[in-house]
Amino acid sequence: MRAADVIGAEAMIMYVVDHQQRELLPLLGGSAPHRDPIAVDGTLGGRAYALVTPFATQGDSQGERLWLPMVNGSERMGVLEVVAPASLQDEAVDECVSVASLLAELLVTRNLYSDTIEQVRRLEPMRLAAEMLRAQLPPLSFSTGHLMISGILEPCYDVGGDAFDYAVNGETAHLALFDAAGHGSAGGMRAVMLASLALASYRNARRARMGLIDTYHYIDSAVRTHDRYGLITAVLAEIDQQTGVLRVISAGHPSGMVIRQGRVAKVLPTPTALPVTLGDKRPPVVVEEALEPGDRLLLYTDGIIEARSAQGEQFGTDRLIDFALKAAADQLPAPESARRLVHAILRYQDDRLQDDATILLADWRSPAPPHSDLELITPPAAHLLEP
């Protein structure tokens, strides 16, 4: 609110997105005026969040209203509402964009020291298994400027054993998807423990600069040592940002796919290795695929395609492909594609998921220049579009 006064606005109100990315919830304090939650779908504020683009309205009884996405790197945190008595000049709009960017960073850093923001984002109690697992996941979205990565996991408040991870080290992007066996309260906790082991051992191997095959064996050995009867399907992948070469091990996991120019260019072979804890029975095989600029890699767990309607009909691979191709045709950014796809799965199952549904997308936009310090942060769009 103090920043609003500096640029001649009447109010600035922050909204943080809930964990299911359905609602934008006001984070109020001080002299901020009262606001009610707003939906992501069907509102201008929600559109600013979904498309990561500022939008404005004129002619409101309260003056001009500007909606700006709050983005930390590529992670969508919420939106900033700016209310002004008259139309803002371009310089003032640019200042609002800067304020929104700073507020997003503050939301991330201050969330490490307080539960206030997290409590606002939760619309229902979170079960212990979900609390444990979600604390270990990376941010939902990340961009190097050449590669956009986005993941999402449902259900938010009670998970089974799905998990995802990624890291970008120099020219190589590392991606992983895990699905540990076990669901329900007791089974779900065991599955989360297995998934936690897989995540930690994957990061340990990756940070020791192991290759894909050695990483697979390391995860397999680490999990088997602690739970010899556990079972985890997994996808381990690497993308070279310079060349677009994709290398994948599919350990008993559903096949991923490459989407190119509005069609499925490649369905990746699976399995190329046995599930984790069985890795000593057969050597893994690494599959290579040459990506082209603009390609989208889609990885998913079986909860996506095995979701069932009230009539018992599976969501299935065909529906998944249709949705993925429509999202590509609409030129939706990867974070929004992932959000809408998982929400479509939830609607199909009447919001009653019988298994975790997890998506990991990677858009290879363009070759990274050789021997460069790759850019880690892509700033939000700074231009204003009229609705």
CATH number of the domain enclosing 94: 3.30.450.40
Question: Taking a C-beta distance cutoff of 8 angstroms, is the pair 299, 150 a contact?
Answer: no
Q: Which residues contact 370 (CB under 8 A, 6 or more apart)?
A: 242
**pLDDT given at position 310:** 77
| CATH classification of the domain holding 151 | 3.60.40.10
Domain boundary pick from 93, 120, 147:
120
Give the Å distances, CA to CA, from 295 to 44, 129, 141, 183, 370: 30, 35, 17, 34, 20
Boundaries of domain holding 43: 2-120
Domain edge (last residue) among 120, 137, 165: 120
For residue 371, the model assigns a pLDDT of 60
Residue 179: what pLDDT?
93
**245 and 347 share a domain?**
yes
Q: Answer yes or no: do 59 and 152 share one domain.
A: no
Provide the domain count of the chain. 2
pTM: 0.88
Do 283 and 307 have their domain in common? yes
Please identify which residue in the block is written with the tokens 């190097």. 144
Task: Note whether 89 and 150 are same-domain residues.
Answer: no
- Do 113 and 156 belong to one domain? no
Establish if 384 belongs to a structural domain: no
Question: Same domain for 170 and 273?
Answer: yes
What pLDDT sits at residue 72?
93
- 22 lies in the same domain as 65: yes
**Domain annotation covers residue 327:** yes
Q: Which residues of the chain have pLDDT under 70?
A: 58-62, 182-188, 353-354, 371-387
pLDDT at 381: 43
The reply to whether 255 and 134 lie within a common domain is yes
Q: Is residue 236 in a domain?
A: yes
* Residue 379 belongs to some domain of the structure: no
| Sheet (strand 232-240) strand order | 162-169, 172-180, 232-240, 245-251, 287-290
* Residue 285, C-beta contacts closer than 8 angstroms, at least 6 positions apart: 249, 272, 273
Do 145 and 293 belong together in one domain? yes
The residue from 120, 153, 185 where one domain ends is: 120
